[in-house]
Chains A and B, each alone.
Chain A
């Protein structure tokens, strides 16, 4: 059974710092991996999608990497801003096209 784990559970950094969020999954038979942002009480906003054949994807200050064989992904946020404060969720798409989510990393960027 696929399990997705995210560490750390929470992170507090000063504005301007570069940071890395980690995601690991137990079964490498994934279709793709998505990173989402969730603001309190709100929906899920897709940030990046990495196909299983890809190694990384970039969008603005965000860069996500995927090492399928070791079951790991990282989300790198450059030059963090207070507006980046949110919960970041990692999810893998399994062979039946459903998403399996991690518990998330709650990020606070202090001004």
Chain B
């Protein structure tokens, strides 16, 4: 069964360092997302990406964050200068969408990357 894959599963980084979290969405999906979950808190939306551009971003998604689809399969989240409060589980998700007559917005999530900033 097709699935969203994320690498690495766990990343430890020093404060101020740049990290890149990688995702391979399901191959025929058109909408891609990043969410994060700080330990003990709700899953919260960061950014959505459609047609090679950001569709929407939350207040959390400030200038230190960026997303990219460098090729036909990968979708990345870059955090330029990590802070302690960026420590969280980061989830990538994708949705098929398709044509308007068969609009499939069900979101499928990867297993997450646990980012620890020390």
Residues of A in contact with B (beta carbons under 8 Å apart)? 31-32, 34, 36, 41-46, 49, 89, 91, 93, 96-104
Min C-beta distance of B109 to chain A, whole Å: 4
We find that the number of chain B residues with CB closer than 8 angstroms to chain A is 24
In-complex Cβ contact of A44 among B42, B43, B48, B95 (8 A) = B43
Docked pose: A98 CA to B43 CA in angstroms: 12
Q: Please tell me if B75 contacts chain A, counting CB pairs below 8 Å.
A: no
Report the 8 A-B pairs with minimum CB-CB distance, sorted nearest first: A43-B111, A44-B109, A101-B43, A49-B106, A98-B45, A43-B112, A96-B56, A43-B109
Select from chain A the residue with minimum beta-carbon distance to B43: A101
B37-53 Cβ-contact flags toward A at 8 Å (1 or 0) = 00001111100100000
Number of A-B contacts (CB under 8 A): 57
In-complex Cβ contact of B48 among A31, A91, A97 (8 A) = A97
B106 to A44, Cβ gap below 8 A?
Answer: no
Min C-beta distance of A86 to chain B, whole Å: 14
The prevalent SS among residues of A at the interface is strand
A46 to B55, Cβ gap below 8 A?
Answer: no
Select from chain B the residue with minimum beta-carbon distance to A48: B106
Min C-beta distance of B48 to chain A, whole Å: 6
- Given that A89-B43, A98-B45 are contacting pairs, would A34 and B106 also be in contact in the complex, using a CB cutoff of 8 Å? yes
Min C-beta distance of A105 to chain B, whole Å: 13
A46 to B106, Cβ gap below 8 A?
Answer: yes
